[in-house]
Chain A
Amino acid sequence: MRRVVITGLGMVTPLGSGVSTTWTRLLAGESGAARIAEFEVSDLPCQIACRVPRGDGTNGTFNPDLAMEPKEQRKVDDFIVYAMAAADEAIADSGWKPEDYEDQIRTGVMIGSGIGGIEGIVDAGITLHEKGPRRISPFFIPGRLINLASGQISIKYGLKGPNHAVVTACSTGSHAIGDASRLIALGDAEVMVAGGTESPVSRISMAGFAACRALSTGFNDEPTRASRPYDKDRDGFVMGEGAGVVVLEEYEHAVARGAKIYAEVIGYGLSGDAFHITAPSPDGDGAYRCMTAALKRAGLTAADVDYVNAHGTSTPMGDELELRALERVAGDSAASLTMSSTKSAIGHLLGAAGAVEAIFSVLAIRDGMIPPTLNLENPSVETAIDLVPLKAKSKTVDVALSNSFGFGGTNASLVFRRV
């Protein structure tokens, strides 16, 4: 198969707009969590979230008007706006803006989302109930559909290659990057704009995830302490929002145009738990098999992996299962492994998580810096694996692995290597 490299990065996260802002704040140990002020939360068990900081675009704030005209924003849910902003950054970073038809048809888009425009669906439901079907906007459907992130990006940039969208809950971003890489490897495209996006911070989502008993509820007065993967006091995840997008490119194509190459996508593994709709399989078998499959595809063993960006959502059950699965993959080399959960800082971006965390993994390779697991004060279990508590650390990273696991028992691992 053909080699696939990453030549562009873009993101919008609770730590700010853009890769540079987010990465700097992540390494500094900042948290994006705060009490929700934008809607009523007094009757919700979880009253905190990691929200994208909005503003005029200065000081790392996110200015949606730079990504989409206000009249267009009005027609879509925020997951599309976040995807547009992250794609703008990634495409500009890559320097690949195809003008020729032949280049355009060889460039595709695969941006996924876990949920899509749930808030817009709720609002339209209220309109339908109160005012009737004649008041449903013609933009209701195209503003909510998950694949419209890919669609909007393709229209803006004239990208006429494969146009696709992944929907695998919290594994979406990883699956999108993995699947898009395979399209390039198999020759269906030369370049793919790939990633995940999510805008789930709304009353309906908070109520739904709280009903699943997935959210942290014990830290409403100390939001920045709530996301605490592997810590004994963890009690659920903190909802995040945003998008991560990468430009994937066939290696020779990137070299020929002198593109900056961040890393190569050398491994991608997938598995299913076949166990429960929300709970991970208690034997960690699904996580074990997707990591093993990704390493096998990469032709590596766990001893070759310098950094693992964990799924690590801060739920009581999931964190330890992933840790045990990685220990099983690593065997005797566990003591040389370093794994951190960046969800401790940005929360859980659901369908965007895998894409944003893939970018963190790539940046760890570029900078030789490992972001910390915030709030890991008292690990709930002993492990030989370094979980990078509280503070970032420097370490040369040539190979990084990123995990994502989703509702429905869907698992994905990606392996990146320095080129």
Chain B
Amino acid sequence: MSENSIEARVKKIVVEHLGVEEDKVTKDASFIDDLGADSLDTVELVMAFEEEFGVEIPDDAAETILTVGDAVRFLEKSTA
């Protein structure tokens, strides 16, 4: 995984915003169940992804982004 890969950039944002250890941010990790986020944290995370990747994530799409892997897959598709 290169430092500039989408996965690496997503994980960096998650570590910064949720204040969690890097090794806990696996692709299967759920923001709420595994990483201690609340509903406001997830809103802010989606905003941070939008900012970092220059994309717009509509609310209905944001609701499907529940894990680190969901975010990576969504962003890989929308920035491809």
Contact = CB atoms under 8 A, between A and B. Distances in A.
Interface of A: 69-72, 134-135, 137-139, 142
Q: Is chain B's interface secondary structure helix, strand, loop, or mixed overall?
A: helix
19 contacts: A69-B19, A70-B19, A71-B17, A71-B18, A71-B19, A72-B19, A134-B47, A134-B50, A134-B56, A135-B47, A135-B51, A137-B44, A137-B47, A138-B40, A138-B43, A138-B44, A139-B40, A139-B44, A142-B40
Contacts of B50: 134
Interface residues of B, number: 10
Nearest to B42: A138
A303 B7 CA distance: 73
A139 B51 CA distance: 16
Contacts of A139: 40, 44
A-B pairs, top 9 by smallest CB distance, nearest first, are A71-B19, A138-B40, A138-B43, A138-B44, A137-B44, A69-B19, A139-B40, A70-B19, A139-B44
Given A70-B19, A134-B50, 4 more contacts: A71-B19, A135-B47, A137-B44, A138-B43
Contacts of A72: 19
Interface string B50-66: 11000010000000000
Nearest to B50: A134
Contacts of A70: 19
A139 to B, nearest CB: 6
A134 B44 CA distance: 10
Contacts of A135: 47, 51
Nearest to B43: A138
B30 to A, nearest CB: 18
A193 B67 CA distance: 39
Nearest to B48: A137
B68 to A, nearest CB: 17
B31 to A, nearest CB: 13
A137 B50 CA distance: 12
A72 B56 CA distance: 26
B70 to A, nearest CB: 19
Nearest to A69: B19
Most buried by B among A69, A134, A142: A134
A132 to B, nearest CB: 11
A137 B44 CA distance: 6
B42 to A, nearest CB: 9
Nearest to B36: A71
A137 B51 CA distance: 12
Nearest to B16: A71
A139 B56 CA distance: 20
A311 to B, nearest CB: 39
Nearest to B39: A138
Contacts of B40: 138-139, 142
Nearest to B45: A138
A112 B40 CA distance: 25
Contacts of B44: 137-139
A69 B51 CA distance: 24
A306 B70 CA distance: 68
